Structure 1
Amino acid sequence: MNKIKAVIIEDETRAQIYLKGIIEQNEPEIELIAICDDLPSGVLAIRKYKPELVFLDIEMPKYNGLEIGNFFNEEEMNFAIIFTTAYNQYAIKAFKTAAIDYLLKPIDLQELKQAIENFKKRKFTTLHQLNEVSLKLRKDTRIAIPDGNSLVMIEPNDIVYLKAENSYTMVVLASGKKYVTSRFLKNFEESLIDYQQFIRCHKSFIVNTDYIASYSKSDGGYLFLTTEAQIPISPDKVEALLAFFTRVNR
């Protein structure tokens, strides 16, 4: 019997080990030929080994799993994708609508078996399906914030500011709640591009202008927020920031 060649693309080591174990113990017809930590290395493995099936995590640093469609044209998409995700039911409807298989973490054995049976019928995932899911998730009125092994869905208006901390980002909410996630600040900047109240005021900060109380020119420039937080603003960002507000001439 010819085995089904498969690749796992998952950034969390524990999730890699768990998925590898549950597949090897329960799906002998699947041969795992590569396990990759991020999307770029996963794309290289797909091009090298030409798998029939790819288990792909969605929330990963630098690249979102849904961005895999940016690396292949229609003719090259000759493999099937089963997404592994911690998205809650609020966003799962996007996958169901596009008829793309997904496995909710922690992965259930019966759901894995059903996804593989579906793969045998469909054989590959199309760019159209990927684009459909991406579009529906972009229209989602909430932002997905990775929190451990799950995703928290946050209303953009509840975000006061975001701060880069090396390869992590701290998301600060009006409630005082803080989330530290392994996504880069640049990733959040792209996710928030449709929300005009957000501005990159500093290389390390994105601020929600709705929470700005005042601006001080002292010490290089600072923003004082209604939550009493104080964050810096780069000199080259001042004019763009002030354009959000009506200034009264002296």
Structure 2
Amino acid sequence: MKAIIVDDEINARLSLRGILEENFSHIQIVNECKDVPSAVKAIHELKPELVFLDISMPGYSGLELLKFFDESQINFKIIFVTAFSEYAINAFELSAVGYILKPVRVDALEKALQKIMNSNHDLENLKALQNNMENPLEKKVALNTGDGITFLELNDILYLKADGSYTHFYTTNRHRITIAKKISDFERLEAMGNFLRIHRSHIINLARIQKILKQDGGTVVMENGELLSISADRKTSLFEKFQNLKL
């Protein structure tokens, strides 16, 4: 598999190349680039199958790389290599894109490679990532369903309900989407929008609460009329979250 590394820091490029050459012999580094313009040129000339892409670089951000290609030209997969904040990590996870954190670890790199090699929706996932990073009020989550990936705007989610090793997403259009992941895997929604886990079985969109009832220890009424219990240890967090809620 032909690959290029795009990073403005030479030590970061050398380190990643060394890890790849030592542990992943099936990946051939055909070029190293220090910025987006040189990466665009290298991709057109060398046609790599994989691009290791830093996001924070002078001039153009790594996220702007795709703007230099027509959709028909994007025949390569991307793994983001970044030292970004937790906010960005949440964006990567929700968009279901491949990424690794600096300093790069072999196990994390192997996991990222497996993730993108098993994905058939790379362009859609990258578009979702761009949207999540550039349009904070219009964030989307990429949900791996049995027949593909569903891209769901966070504002369209009413609540999540745990069901053993599965999680049900209930939406404003009264659809239910079931994902083969535990509800704990979606707690990062709290950092990306107006979400809060109010119970071991429920994560709710605070903007979709219709009413809060004091009876039975505390209950929220969602827009679809569903009543969801509030755990005693989450009541304080619920009201604190309302203090900063952007509706």
Question: In the alignment, which residue of structure 2 is the partner of 1:14?
Answer: 11
Preserved contact between residue 97 and residue 116 of structure 2 (Cα < 8 Å): no
2:56 to 48, 59, 64: 59
In 2, Cα distance between equivalents of 1:41 and 1:124 = 26
- CA deviations over 1:99-131 (Å, ceiling 9, x no partner): 1111111111101011112232226730x3223
1:89 to 71, 86, 89: 86
> AA paired with 1:71?
F
Structure 1 residues 52 and 12, CA, compared in 2 at 3 Å: closer, same or farther? Answer: same
- Helix, strand or coil: the match of 1:122? coil
In 1, Cα distance between equivalents of 2:28 and 2:120 = 16
TM-score by length of 1: 0.52
Preserved contact between residue 82 and residue 100 of structure 2 (Cα < 8 Å): yes
Within-5 A mapping of 1:160-239: none
Question: In the alignment, which residue of structure 2 is the partner of 1:105?
Answer: 102
Please, which runs of 5 or more residues in structure 1 have no aligned partner? Answer: 142-250
- Helix, strand or coil: the match of 1:60? coil
Question: In the alignment, which residue of structure 1 is the partner of 2:176?
Answer: none
In 2, Cα distance between equivalents of 1:122 and 1:51 = 17
- Helix, strand or coil: the match of 1:59? coil
Please, which runs of 5 or more residues in structure 2 have no aligned partner? Answer: 138-247
> AA paired with 1:37?
K
Hey, which bits of structure 1, 4+ residues long, moved more than 2 A?
122-125, 128-131, 138-141
CA drift of 1:40 comes to 0.6
Within-5 A mapping of 1:118-197: 118-122=115-119, 125-126=122-123, 128-140=124-136
CA drift of 1:133 comes to 1.4
Root-mean-square deviation (CA, aligned residues, Å) is: 1.6
Identity level (%): 42
For the pair 1:117 / 2:114, whether they are aligned, the reply is yes
Preserved contact between residue 8 and residue 34 of structure 2 (Cα < 8 Å): yes
> AA paired with 2:73?
E
In 2, Cα distance between equivalents of 1:131 and 1:117 = 20
Preserved contact between residue 80 and residue 123 of structure 1 (Cα < 8 Å): no
TM-score by length of 2: 0.53
